Amino acid sequence: MTAPLKNSGPITVEVALGDRSYDILIGRDILSSLGERVAALRPGARVAIVTDEYVATYWLRKTDASLKGAGIATSHIVVDEGEASKSYEGIEFVCEELIKAKIERNDLVVALGGGVVGDLAGFAAAIVRRGIDFVQVPTSLLAQVDSSVGGKTGINSPQGKNLVGAFHQPILVVADTAVLDTLSPRQFRAGYAEVAKYGVLGDEAFFTWLEANHADVVKGGAAREHAVATSCRAKAAIVARDERETGERALLNLGHTFGHALETATGFSDRLYHGEGVSIGMVLAAELSAQLGMLTDADVSRIQRHLAAVGLPTRLQDIAGFKQEGLPDADGLMTLMAQDKKVKRGRFTFILLQAVGQAVVSSDVDPLAVRNFLARKLAQ
Does the annotation mark 89 as catalytic? no
Distances (CA, A) of 57 to 54, 63, 90, 276: 5, 11, 20, 25
Does the annotation mark 130 as catalytic? yes
Among residues 224, 274, 306, 377, the one annotated as catalytic is 274
Among residues 168, 197, 226, 249, the one annotated as catalytic is 249
Does the annotation mark 256 as catalytic? yes
Among residues 260, 271, 306, 341, the one annotated as catalytic is 260
Does the annotation mark 235 as catalytic? yes
Q: Which amino acid is at 252?
A: L
Does the annotation mark 86 as catalytic? no
Does the annotation mark 28 as catalytic? no
Does the annotation mark 152 as catalytic? yes
Among residues 86, 226, 233, 256, the one annotated as catalytic is 256
Any idea what the Cα angle at residue 358 is, between residues 344 and 244, rounded to 5°? Answer: 40
Among residues 189, 235, 271, 377, the one annotated as catalytic is 235
Among residues 81, 83, 97, 245, the one annotated as catalytic is 245
Among residues 156, 253, 287, 341, the one annotated as catalytic is 253
Give the catalytic positions in this structure.
130, 152, 194, 235, 245, 249, 253, 256, 260, 274
